[in-house]
Structure 1
């Protein structure tokens, strides 16, 4: 061990019988290191409480220097995650913290030893990278919960999807809706958000006595595929007159392609649980939940900074409600008014 009792790369290399360069490359996630060797290095680094140089640099500067942001692979097609990332990065920049972007379903590759804190939007069940961060005692803030059987993050910023979906379906029923279909993400988005949306719709429909059917749709699905799915729902003998869409843009596609969402149409009641700013929020025919992802990302960054710079870690995960709003379609009853 080093005289200061801080574990160093040479300490790890000596104990493992590896070169300093190999250990350094493994901790930096470089592809030149065999996966078996990387695992040995990361396991020992966690066991010995190793802290990477970015942490030491942060100590010298008196502040954190780097945050990781994990988003699903769906970020490449959905503006929600881009807006979240912009808000997060802008807020991090105000406290001079750099941001590293990662896919939330990436395997752990030593990131925990290179960042001071991390945030995740829609934490997916297959994400070993986020679990590695938590096991290494790196503070993690999760937007909209975490998967079952995953370790608890330091903080959760949570949209009240149960409450908002309850309000939406209560309004649809008051307007005359009698049968509900939920188009929810399939296993292409294995996030707690998907489960929350399904559970919320089922609970509200049970309370209001509305028959409900659930269809699953890939998060990367095309507008044409969605149109065919909705047509198949409408061809059923018990076709819905209210459809709740779990993915961003889907309600917009359905309303446009099939002329739905207006009084007298086949489905007068169209709702989105992840409202898109261009196609759904502000639409006269669609009711949408607006989580304000730019502001949500910014809050996750500021909360993470508070956690990283605090004198001690919280004894229990912080759960902070996030104030979303509902953008109502013109013909929907406003029960809260």
Structure 2
């Protein structure tokens, strides 16, 4: 025999409060104290209560799902997968599911979501245009420029400029004076890639050191990394900064194969460290904390969907940090 599912009435009787208060806590509506919320959630977990999202959607007129759109390069970079898992956790905390949008978007498409998160959108991105025309609340992770820009509900961004400058300054203090940036601007086509290159050139000019930018593939083979190393050597680079995930790992293989001592002969840095790159203490890395980043984006979207006007506009994600490499 199938066990009876716990109900709101069961929770109310368990802790001795009204079922309307329990419903308010579980639905995130009405007024109640933090202590009451804690008691309700503890009892719900103890009794095995499961929220019926379909019933809630019928009552509220909401779909019960957030949308997520990732750039085409997402299949090659682990950052986006980790971000998506974090966004799923954030959506779940808001009692919503997470729907992953396909890359190709029909401008006339109808969206069965309450709101959407778009990560690193390109200028005039079809997905942003379609969502804005549909009147869907939208959080852009990274700056968006183009059609529908005024309809973007909120923007969430890490302090990339500050963090990148901090990493470059740390390398300069280690005596490095010939900096090379391995850029992904051509492949990513996002505001982040453009801003990264701008920050690099500006910092080098301010520091009085030459700047070299080499545009590389988002996921070069080891052979390509060897070719890039030859270009770095030609410019006399002693600090190689990789703009995208995975590049530093491939360059590390090429450097070690060539007998170059990382942290001694040359410093290697990543502006978007992968899990493998984080494990190498010799590398100077920016940990963008993609899981927490995704969760923060979903939390922001949930507030917008709930009508919280303080969630509109620009917001900083403060979870990213720099770790300076040690020889």
How far apart are residue 106 of structure 1 and its match? 2.7
Contact 2:201 2:211 in 1 (8 A): yes
Match of 1:132 in 2: 130
Cα separation, 1, equivalents of 2:294 and 2:246: 20
Contact 1:147 1:191 in 2 (8 A): no
The SS at the match of 1:271 is strand
The SS at the match of 1:69 is strand
1:181-330 aligned within 5 A = 181-234=180-233, 236=234, 238-259=235-256, 260=260, 262-265=262-265, 268-278=266-276, 280-310=277-307, 317-330=313-326
Name which of structure 1's ranges 245-254 and 91-100 shifts more when overlaid on structure 2: 91-100
Cα separation, 1, equivalents of 2:305 and 2:130: 17
Match of 2:81 in 1: 82
Match of 2:28 in 1: none
Cα separation, 1, equivalents of 2:78 and 2:312: 32
- Note the residue ranges of structure 1 that are not aligned, 5 or more in a row: 1-56, 332-337
Cα separation, 2, equivalents of 1:58 and 1:318: 29
Deviations 1:95-124 (A, max 9, x none): 221211124x53334445422110012112
Cα separation, 2, equivalents of 1:326 and 1:261: 22
How far apart are residue 224 of structure 1 and its match? 2.5
How far apart are residue 222 of structure 1 and its match? 2.5
Cα separation, 2, equivalents of 1:287 and 1:190: 25
Please point out which of 113, 116, 136 is paired with 1:115: 113
TM-score (norm 1): 0.73
Cα separation, 1, equivalents of 2:307 and 2:268: 45
Match of 1:163 in 2: 162
Cα separation, 2, equivalents of 1:276 and 1:198: 19
Cα separation, 2, equivalents of 1:315 and 1:117: 13
Deviations 1:148-191 (A, max 9, x none): 56614211111111111111111111111111111110422111
Match of 1:142 in 2: 140
How far apart are residue 248 of structure 1 and its match? 0.2
The alignment of Structure 1 onto Structure 2 pairs a total of residues equal to 271
Cα separation, 2, equivalents of 1:109 and 1:261: 52
TM-score (norm 2): 0.75
The SS at the match of 1:319 is strand
Q: How big is the alpha-carbon RMSD for the aligned residues of Structure 1 and Structure 2? A: 2.6
Cα separation, 1, equivalents of 2:319 and 2:261: 26
Cα separation, 2, equivalents of 1:247 and 1:150: 28
Match of 1:29 in 2: none
Cα separation, 1, equivalents of 2:184 and 2:210: 20
Change (3 A) 1:108 1:223: farther
How far apart are residue 283 of structure 1 and its match? 1.2
Deviations 1:7-33 (A, max 9, x none): xxxxxxxxxxxxxxxxxxxxxxxxxxx
Change (3 A) 1:62 1:107: closer
How far apart are residue 86 of structure 1 and its match? 0.4
The SS at the match of 1:187 is helix
Cα separation, 1, equivalents of 2:107 and 2:149: 18
The SS at the match of 1:258 is helix
Which has the larger share of helix? Answer: 2
Match of 1:91 in 2: 90
Contact 2:159 2:316 in 1 (8 A): no
Match of 1:50 in 2: none
